[in-house]
Amino acid sequence: MSTNKDKAIKATYLSILGNFFLALAKGITGYFGNSYALIADAIESTTDVLSSALVLFGIKYSTKPADSNHPYGHGRAETLVTFAVVGFLVISATIIAIESIKNIQTPHETPEKYTLIVLAIIVIIKEVFYRIVSKKSDETHSSSLKADAWHHRSDAITSLMAFIGIAIAIYMGPGYETADDWAALFASFFIIYNAYLIFRPALGEILDEHLYDDIIEDIRKVATTVEGVIDTEKCFVRKTGMTYLVDLHLTVDGNITVSEGHEIAHRLKDAIIKEIPEIADVLIHTEPDDLP
């Protein structure tokens, strides 16, 4: 059975190979087809190759087991990689915007019609990639893989914008030669917006923002099945890589021994990790039910 790490790595290799060949196809078609919108797309896909390689490194490093120097594991490395991926998005959007403005101010030939066929194929491929990688990110709870999925979606949108711009340039005739450059410029702003959508949850993750009410609810449900558990009070969940760490307050009968309370806490921890495999560890504080 494939682990979350295996699923994430396979999805990332798909991204790397797909972006490499698409960047090549876009660059060649854009150069010979007189379309900067396609060349801009190729630039973004090239940065996608680099960012996907970074995601691959982050996934492999973040899933390393805990050691004496990193008792909570290496999971936060994945969040840092997500920030780096956002940086790649911002850089590529900036390059596209600058070059688009330059091309708008410089007369050039109308793009070739066959560029529309290439763009239509690219839009379909990138949307399929987005759905595959996004599904894997949901399955593995990987924030960097989610960022990689959004790279595919933003690429599909920029390709669609390029398609619209080139179609206008071709079919509207003289005076509309820069339509594909305007499309590339518009796409750069969309990329920046996507970068924010990726950055915001990653920031919440690294700041331990309260985001996991669904997991807390599942934890409390599991607790009701463990003999000796009277109640659960405070429950805090924080994400580290593709797993979660939990701090939980457990209420037990105040008349039992410390050893018995300890045993109940261990049974609860084992039950939680068994029923919710994405939880890596649970720290339980045991309290008696007769506290004033």
Per-residue pLDDT reduced to its tens digit, 84-113: 888 878 887 888 888 888 888 876 677 788
Q: Is there a contact between 91 and 111 (Cβ–Cβ < 8 Å)?
A: no
Instruction: Decide whether 4-206 matches 213-288 in CATH topology.
Output: no
Q: Which residues of 62-84 are buried (b: 16+ CB within 10 A; e: fewer)?
A: bbeeeeeeeeebbbbbbbbbbbb
**Four-way CATH pick for 213-288: 3.20.20.70, 3.40.718.10, 3.30.360.10, 3.30.70.1350:** 3.30.70.1350
Does position 292 have pLDDT exceeding 70, yes or no?
no
Q: Is the pLDDT of residue 237 over 80?
A: yes
CATH of domain 4-206: 1.20.1510.10
Reply yes or no on whether the pLDDT at 43 is more than 90. Answer: no
pLDDT at residue 77 tops 70: yes
- Cα–Cα distance list, 7 to 58, 72, 150, 153, 288 (Å): 14, 22, 17, 20, 43
| Of 112 and 291, the one with more pLDDT | 112
- For the chain, the domains span 4-206, 213-288
Helix (H/G/I), strand (E/B), else coil: 284: strand
